[in-house]
Structure 1
């Protein structure tokens, strides 16, 4: 049983719950006080380096989510009949759902790594598409899904659809998976190193890891997102870092460059 039973279908929840979770979680970060002692960049750096206003970021995210919701509805419509018996979703056992979760995480990471990396390596794609996301040099939670519409479709929406299909999860399991993926992605872009953050404890691919990628020196490193850093380590694009305290407060992810 799920708390939405009797109020909304699993397919509707799988489509719209991740969008609601995005704005609630990103909004939480947006409403926090400055927290200068936990920022990876100063507020001055954010003002100087970021070249897009917040209103444009919100508009871009909403556009991506509109496309995302449209694709999700079509995907669930096509697959729901195969997972339904006598009008009731056939849910696998809990261990099977955990396995599906892990498979979906690996598939999403694999898809996003190679698409993301190619968007950096192809000068045309970077200049005209992926560079939009990098206008936020200093990342912020609300801009986690601020992408060119084509990138949003290829990287996030298609990545999610493929993860769903390959893992074989039902729409109900997908609700939890996509909400978790959204929370993780928002957290990776929040720009804060908060004490007790559970994602920082369990994932090497975290806020500081992704912050390296958004800096000029790290553009060709740390492509992995949103969960693990496996492909970076296997394919030589992993850039280690030291998290050090800034004299004026806050933290800085400093690259550890390989010795000559």
Structure 2
């Protein structure tokens, strides 16, 4: 049973959030705990635009700075230096504070106004905000598809920002201020770049929804959460024996993106390695060796 997400769908409720949660729990026993939390939030707010806007902004801030904090702590632990990709370039406390302040200012002045427009846009293109949530299998395949779509958008947009001297100098150069990146620097970028690359994260699911009319906001939130965690970890500057790409070879990870910041070229993709491999823009010792062998093979063939 789908329940509409506006206050008129559950009339007569009053009191605080948890009082309403208790009442809704009694009358909607088929919903699980998280679905009840979701429904109560929209009923409590009495305004879908405000409810989605606040939830989206708070989720982004808590996740961004919460996921970055462990990397700040790790940078303060000398024993972790052996895992640092560029061990001689540890960000100072001043750099960390400046970066955090810049990103926070950008979130409030650039991203917050756009977030308030998110609900009307999402609703127009068919995103669902009803309960119950979609089945897990549907969320999994949609999130996997969004990762592929976002990675493709990110690769070509990012590469374009590097291929144009004007765009690099006036837009993308700011993000490369730190040649040895750290977690907080994931969104340290020009507002134009933030909006351009963020289209892959937000726009791809909306495009999918506009064609299928079959996407729930919770699925999109889960994708955004995973993608943001991936971006922060990719900028962490640390490579561990248990890093995901050791078990999932096509995954990009910190070693892939750290090389991009150090050399300023190649490794343009976000989550996966295949676009860089296919387009021969991979920057790694293995890729360099592969190109050298390929060149020598051509020379021998010509002889």
TM-score range for the pair, normalised by the shorter chain length: 0.7 to 0.9
Q: Distance in 2 between matches of 1:161 and 1:175?
A: 10
Runs of 4+ off more than 6 Å: none
More helix by share: 2
CA contact (8 A) 1:142 1:186 kept: yes
Q: Distance in 2 between matches of 1:236 and 1:112?
A: 16
**Aligned position for 1:194:** 240
SS of match in other structure, 1:153: helix
**Aligned position for 2:82:** 37
SS of match in other structure, 1:41: coil
Tell me, yes or no, if structure 1 residue 236 matches structure 2 residue 277: no
Q: Distance in 2 between matches of 1:258 and 1:13?
A: 48
Tell me, yes or no, if structure 1 residue 220 matches structure 2 residue 265: yes
What do residues 85-142 of structure 1 show as CA deviations (whole Å, max 9, x unaligned)?
Answer: xx83464332222221112111111111111111101101111211111111001011
More strand by share: 1
When residues 61 and 199 of structure 1 are mapped into structure 2, their CA distance, relative to the original with a 3 A threshold, is farther
Among 93, 96, 103, the residue aligned to 1:54: 96
Root mean square deviation of aligned Cα? 2.7
> Which residues in structure 2 correspond to 1:64-83 (within 5 Å)?
64-66=106-108, 67-80=110-123, 82-83=126-127
Q: Distance in 2 between matches of 1:256 and 1:144?
A: 30
Which has the larger displacement, 112-121 or 232-241? 232-241
Which has the larger displacement, 99-108 or 3-12? 3-12
SS of match in other structure, 2:66: helix
TM-score by length of 2: 0.70
- Residue 14 of structure 1, CA deviation: 3.6
Q: Distance in 1 between matches of 2:112 and 2:246?
A: 29
> Which residues in structure 2 correspond to 1:1-260 (within 5 Å)?
1=32, 2=34, 4-5=37-38, 8-9=41-42, 11=52, 12-32=54-74, 33-34=77-78, 35-42=80-87, 44-46=88-90, 53-66=95-108, 67-80=110-123, 82-84=126-128, 88-89=130-131, 91-156=133-198, 158-168=199-209, 169-198=215-244, 200-202=246-248, 203-216=250-263, 219-225=264-270, 227-241=271-285, 256=289, 258-259=291-292, 260=295
Q: Distance in 1 between matches of 2:119 and 2:145?
A: 19
SS of match in other structure, 1:40: coil
- Residue 199 of structure 1, CA deviation: 5.8
What do residues 4-38 of structure 1 show as CA deviations (whole Å, max 9, x unaligned)?
Answer: 43564583434431321111110111012231111
Q: Distance in 2 between matches of 1:83 and 1:69?
A: 20
More contact order relative to length (CA 8 Å, sep ≥ 6): 1
CA contact (8 A) 1:15 1:72 kept: yes
- Residue 209 of structure 1, CA deviation: 0.6
Q: Distance in 2 between matches of 1:240 and 1:152?
A: 26
TM-score by length of 1: 0.80
When residues 100 and 55 of structure 1 are mapped into structure 2, their CA distance, relative to the original with a 3 A threshold, is same
SS of match in other structure, 2:174: helix
Aligned length: 239
When residues 5 and 204 of structure 1 are mapped into structure 2, their CA distance, relative to the original with a 3 A threshold, is closer
Gaps of 5+ in 1: 243-253
**Higher radius of gyration, 1 or 2:** 2
